[in-house]
Amino acid sequence: MSGTESSGSAGSLPLSGIRVLDLSRVLAGPLAAQMLGDLGAEVIKVERAGAGDDSRRMGPPFLKDTEGRDTRESPILLGTNRNKKSITLDLAKPEGQAIVRRLAAISDVVVENFKVGDLKRYGLDHESLRTLNPRLVYCSVTGFGQSGPYAPRPGYDSIFQAMGGLMSVTGYPDEEGGAPVKTGPSIADFIGGQFAAIGVIAALYERDAHGGRSGGRGQHLDIALLDSVIASLTHYSAQYLATGIVPVRRGTQGNGGLPSQMFPCADGAVMVVCGNDEQYRRFCKALGRPELGHDERFASNPVRVQHRQALAETFDAITRQWRQQDMLAAMEKAGVPAGPIYDLEQVFNDPQVQHRGMAVEVAHPLSGTLRLAANPIKFSDTPITRYTAPPMLGQHTAEVLKRLLGMDDAELARLSGSGVI
């Protein structure tokens, strides 16, 4: 805990009283800090004076103001920076560096995703800041990590999807004219950001539970997006490491219980997963073909795996005779896991998604209101109900520097005039 609970934290949330200094940009680091903010931490986002986070320019589209004009608030920024405060600083200037050091001295966490070694030039690396604040948890999020032959290399999400093996198992197989593809969202950044948030929370617990509230020390977390993608492959990597068999792309087909794939209908498609033999037999019966439940090619899952192509072709021909809603209703009645393939408009109009509150509306100074995707964690006793809009560039500079560092208007004016803030 940073000494006193921040006035910007919600007292009922798990990380209330934790202060995070977010020096990161674009996606992975900001996602980690956003998660900490959702959980109640006060997150101070430090942006470049005059320019801001690179993500502010990653459009169009951009958020429209109340009169329909483009703002500088991009969807990437809006999706990764809720529940934060924005201050602007020029880290290339000694006074800007000094302000970061003063803030780090009274913070619990620093999140950064600069290239390896960049912050050391400014005296803002882990070793430098831990001398000011031994309790500081310092989280570095980079493409390849702080060590190894690739550590100095830059990189973006799709590079790590490619090098981490994710693209090799995503897409349709070569024999169907397919090729490796990336996921739609920047999933390497998301996964890395979530591992970073988990690591920070664990380091805070270790500091406070094992080290004692008065004597615990923080530590340095080294999160690499390449490592994170590899870790996310779970049973794919387990297949290779345990058997030496390299997994291949299978389109929408799964690798466990079969059938598991998208089936075409007369007016759309349905995703079906049969996780065991009983579900498979119910699937056959629901489609009016109970005899296929005992077909020697498909009678058990290991046999279905051996005949996966024949399985797919057999049921493709059957489901093409069904309308999508009729097939979905039949699957639900039979207790077979199935679902439609939605676009995002359909996602947020679905009654289950609406019941779960997965879209929230917040006030925004430019657009009036703004809809955001909600945090999916549902606490029984400390629910996440506080959402604030992603901040505009430098929106909280004066408030934060006055409240936390005791600066007055004259000092702020001087710093602004010299380009520090």
> Looking at the annotation, which residues are catalytic?
189
Q: Is the residue at 61 inside a domain?
A: yes
Domain that holds residue 338: 260-342
Q: What is the pLDDT of residue 324?
A: 97
Q: What is the pLDDT of residue 7?
A: 35
The answer to whether residues 203 and 109 belong to one domain is yes
Contacting residues for 255 by C-beta, under 8 A, at least 6 apart: 235, 236, 239, 247
What SS3 state is found at 171? coil
Q: What is the pLDDT of residue 2?
A: 44
The answer to whether residues 335 and 370 belong to one domain is no
**Last residue within a domain, chosen from 317, 342, 367:** 342
* pLDDT above 70 as % of the chain: 96
Q: What is the mean pLDDT of residues 408-417?
A: 97
pLDDT of 281 above 90: yes
**What strands, in cross-sheet order, belong to the sheet with 137-142?**
85-89, 42-48, 19-22, 109-112, 137-142, 220-224
pLDDT mean across residues, the chain: 94
pLDDT of 273 above 50: yes
The answer to whether residues 87 and 129 belong to one domain is yes
Which has the closest alpha carbon to 274: 255, 292, 260? 260
69-73 contacts, C-beta under 8 A, 24 or more apart: 71/366, 71/367, 72/393, 73/364, 73/366, 73/367, 73/390, 73/392
Counting every residue, how long is the chain? 421
Q: Is the residue at 128 inside a domain?
A: yes
The answer to whether residues 184 and 149 belong to one domain is yes
Q: Is the residue at 54 inside a domain?
A: yes
**Last residue within a domain, chosen from 313, 342, 371:** 342
Q: What is the mean pLDDT of residues 158-162?
A: 98
Structure tokens at 90: 């020029």
Q: What is the pLDDT of residue 4?
A: 33
The answer to whether residues 90 and 156 belong to one domain is yes
Dihedral (C-alpha) 281, 282, 288, 294: value to the nearest 10 degrees?
10
**How many other C-beta atoms can be found within 10 angstroms of the C-beta atom of residue 177?**
7
Contacting residues for 270 by C-beta, under 8 A, at least 6 apart: 262, 263, 319, 324, 327, 328, 331, 338, 339, 340, 341
94-105 and 397-405 helices, crossing angle to 10°: 60
Model-level pTM greater than 0.85?
yes
Q: What is the pLDDT of residue 1?
A: 44
> Between 262 and 256, whose confidence is greater?
262
The answer to whether residues 121 and 191 belong to one domain is yes
Q: What is the mean pLDDT of residues 289-310?
A: 96
- The answer to which of 9-18, 244-253, 268-277, 278-287 has the lowest mean pLDDT is 9-18
| Strand 368-373 versus strand 268-273 pairing type | unpaired
The answer to whether residues 225 and 264 belong to one domain is no
CATH number, domain with residue 411: 3.40.50.10540
For the chain, the domain total comes to 2
Q: What is the mean pLDDT of residues 228-257?
A: 94
Q: Is the residue at 255 inside a domain?
A: no
The answer to whether residues 122 and 170 belong to one domain is yes
Q: Is the residue at 140 inside a domain?
A: yes
The answer to whether residues 159 and 104 belong to one domain is yes
CATH number, domain with residue 319: 3.30.1540.10
The answer to whether residues 268 and 194 belong to one domain is no
Give 256's pLDDT tier (boundaries 50, 70, 90).
confident
Backbone angles phi, psi at 19, to 5 degrees: -115, 130
pLDDT tens digits for range 68-112:
999 989 999 999 999 999 999 999 999 999 999 999 999 999 999
Q: What is the pLDDT of residue 128?
A: 97
* pLDDT above 90 as % of the chain: 93
pLDDT of 410 above 80: yes
The answer to whether residues 390 and 323 belong to one domain is no
- In angstroms, the first-to-last Cα distance of the chain is 27
The answer to whether residues 44 and 175 belong to one domain is yes
Structure tokens at 19: 């202060």
Q: Is the residue at 33 inside a domain?
A: yes
> Between 212 and 331, whose confidence is greater?
331
| Rounded CA separation 402/202 (Å) | 31
pLDDT tens digits for range 172-226:
999 888 999 999 999 999 999 999 999 999 999 999 987 655 468 999 999 999 9
| Rounded CA separation 362/386 (Å) | 9
Q: Is the residue at 43 inside a domain?
A: yes
Q: What is the pLDDT of residue 12?
A: 86
